[in-house]
Structure 1
Amino acid sequence: MVIDVLDPRHDAEPVYWTVLRERAGLRADWSWEVLKTQAWAARTPQPVTVLRDGTEPRGVVSAAWVTGRTRRHRFAGPGRGWFGGLDVRGPGASAQPGWWFADAGDDGGVTQVLETYVPAMRAELGPGFRAMLLRQVGEPGVPAVSGRFRLVRRTEDIAVLDVSAFGSRDDWMNSLARKRKQNLRKIFRTFDADPSIAVRCVPGKEADPVAVAEVLRHNERKHHDVPIVPLPHFVGYLTVLLRQPDVRVIEYHDTRTGRLVAVATLLDHPRLPIARHWGALGPRDGGRPNLYFHFYGEAVRWAIANGRESVVFGKKMTEMKATLGARLVPQYAAAVPVLASRRPT
């Protein structure tokens, strides 16, 4: 087994990367130019590790190398620090694991991470690699990651809406509880009758990344419930992400001013697209009430029209998403110490 530990800031796109993405079903946030742009704007080094059998990629893991040098308002420097841990996570959408293996097994690849990836990174990073945080572990992977000195905790569930049984947005709406269905119908009628708001679903390349960043930053300022506040959405990153061919954008414009008042991005996938970003101005700032509910319906309509099986609506507000028909998928995070034996405990 050959193992490539790559730094997107400095390493060129591997010749096998397109094949790997297609085989693994990795979405637009795994595009190499997106990974490169994100890595240059990150707090930490962002190693991408590929396991391959000759020229055939057999697995990939995305992580952040966190050390005592990591700071909230400091970009990753040229050095990587001697002591730290790996935060294994998806490079963009936190609703999906940050790894894929061709032979993942019943536990979703958790055993592969522990038995193959961890020793490889121990050899790469040296004895200063002391711990790993493994996010988005599904229930089947919990037994594999549990053990002495490990801390496993359930995190926020992931909302997934299955739409393959519906022929239209109305079919989906009719499957919901009466009160929710009546509320949605009123919302859709209100938007349809409002000439001051224009809604469109377009390829990402048609969106203005500056306007998108402005709305997303407005939305992020409202949320301060995480230990490490996310970095703002950089226009450079959004510019690269939006021009990927598998990105769609749902936009809401005020027709009187042309201003973007709400936006959502969809990372397309043949089976399981992800609703990646959402941002909206409040009514006092020029937005409209109930924008999120309308967007949810638009995403459902788009998915049905394009033959998708489900849509991942991510974390947060899971109880509300359940009333919109989403099933809640349990997710876990595991803190795993790494000992000098080069094997996880």
Structure 2
Amino acid sequence: MSLRVELADPLSEGPPDGWDRFVTDAGWGGLWRFDVLRSLAGAAQAPTLLALVADASGHPWAAFHARHLGLPGSPLTFAAPGRWPWTGLVECRHQPSASLPGHVFAAGLDERGRAEASAAFAAALRRRLRARYTALVHRTLTASDLRSIRGPLTLKVKPHLAIEIAWPDFDGYLASLPGDRRREMRRSRRAIDEDVTVSWEPGVDPRDAARLAETVRRRHRSRRHIAPPVPERYFALLGQAPEVHFLTYRDHRAALLGFVAVHDTGTRLISLLWGAPDHTEGGRPGLYFDLYPRLVERAIQLGRTTLDLGKGLPEVKTRYGATPHARHIVVVAR
């Protein structure tokens, strides 16, 4: 099958033809629309490259999101439109989440089709960048992804945590947990509900969201690691996406005490960025742990099959019913 690949630098070029329609139909519009990815590219330290793979008739098969990680590179500079490092790695994963892969395949595309689309993307990169990179690295791949994305080196990385929704109502979920966990959750919820307003909102103030998300990211980041914050524009665009809602915690003045952005694919809820102030700035303890059962409750109400919680903190997430799912990195030689 002859495939064509349209590549685009979102800072200097327009979207590949049919990009937004394809990612929206695939259930990923809230995170993969061109303007959303362009907002992130404008605040990135490495240049971004988007690719749409289509057959000869123009029907899209796959979309890819990659960044050119230049070597040696400088953490103090931002990507410039149309400029590429002389050498480095091309990393294929979604941004800003470290838990989502850098590809979206068309619904119903079989394993062979996925392999052909991935190979076409790799070939297009070689034509575009030539000798300016040494390898293509696909991150956060599932076991099924490994059957269609292959390379000389495959590494297992930190697992992804998810809760499979198997209960008809929230009481059924609570009944599946140990008694001490149920009692602790109920006590915590009662205490929070006394003076905190918890609700689902279509959007939050982008400036507040960017500030609180960066507060959490900075808390868990090495002091030697320099990274720009997630831009306000990104949160503004998430607030316009019908697939994204925010679980929010507000005090009696309606000030934001915490939030988590959640993307709904139609079958899965995906927990994205968590933001909250430090305790020195009025942060409320316990809100982070309260969000897990509320996310489960939301998934049950919407009839979703899976709640994706990303990687990290397995000792916390498994207490709420999450199970680990293997993830891998595949290195594709140039």
**Structure 1 length normalisation: TM-score?**
0.87
CA drift at 1:49: 0.8
Rounded Cα–Cα distance in structure 2 between residues aligned with 1:191 and 1:38: 34
Q: Look up the match of 1:302.
A: 298
Q: Look up the match of 1:34.
A: 36
CA drift at 1:225: 5.0
Checking the alignment, whether the CA contact within 8 Å between 1:104 and 1:112 is kept in structure 2 is no
Checking the alignment, whether the CA contact within 8 Å between 1:66 and 1:84 is kept in structure 2 is yes
Q: Of 151, 155, 158, which residue of structure 1 is paired with 2:157?
A: 155
User: Helix, strand or coil for the counterpart of 1:157?
Assistant: strand
Q: Look up the match of 2:131.
A: 127
1:15-164 aligned within 5 A: 15-53=17-55, 54-68=57-71, 70-78=73-81, 79-102=83-106, 105-106=110-111, 109=114, 111-112=115-116, 115-142=119-146, 148=152, 150=153, 152-163=154-165
* Paired AA for residue 245 in structure 2: R
Q: Look up the match of 2:211.
A: 214
Checking the alignment, whether the CA contact within 8 Å between 1:108 and 1:141 is kept in structure 2 is no
Aligned residues: 329
Q: Look up the match of 1:186.
A: 187
Matched, 1:320 2:316: yes
Checking the alignment, whether the CA contact within 8 Å between 1:65 and 1:87 is kept in structure 2 is yes
Checking the alignment, whether the CA contact within 8 Å between 1:29 and 1:35 is kept in structure 2 is yes
CA drift at 1:34: 0.6
CA gap 1:160/1:96 in 2 versus in 1, 3 angstroms: same
CA gap 1:229/1:298 in 2 versus in 1, 3 angstroms: farther
Give the gaps of 5 or more residues in structure 1: 339-345
Rounded Cα–Cα distance in structure 1 between residues aligned with 2:111 and 2:184: 41
CA drift at 1:237: 2.1
Deviations along 1:29-67, one digit per CA (max 9) or x if unpaired, are 101111111111111111101111232111111100122
Q: Look up the match of 1:275.
A: 271
CA gap 1:47/1:270 in 2 versus in 1, 3 angstroms: same
Q: Look up the match of 2:327.
A: 331
Deviations along 1:217-270, one digit per CA (max 9) or x if unpaired, are 211121125985542122122222222221101111121x43211111111210
CA gap 1:177/1:136 in 2 versus in 1, 3 angstroms: same
User: Helix, strand or coil for the counterpart of 2:268?
Assistant: coil
Q: Over the residues paired in the alignment, what is the CA RMSD in angstroms?
A: 2.4
Deviations along 1:156-212, one digit per CA (max 9) or x if unpaired, are 11111122x3233232122112222221121112123x23x11111112xx111111
* Paired AA for residue 161 in structure 2: A
Rounded Cα–Cα distance in structure 2 between residues aligned with 1:11 and 1:75: 17
Rounded Cα–Cα distance in structure 1 between residues aligned with 2:149 and 2:58: 30
CA gap 1:15/1:115 in 2 versus in 1, 3 angstroms: closer
Rounded Cα–Cα distance in structure 1 between residues aligned with 2:87 and 2:234: 29
Checking the alignment, whether the CA contact within 8 Å between 1:160 and 1:328 is kept in structure 2 is yes
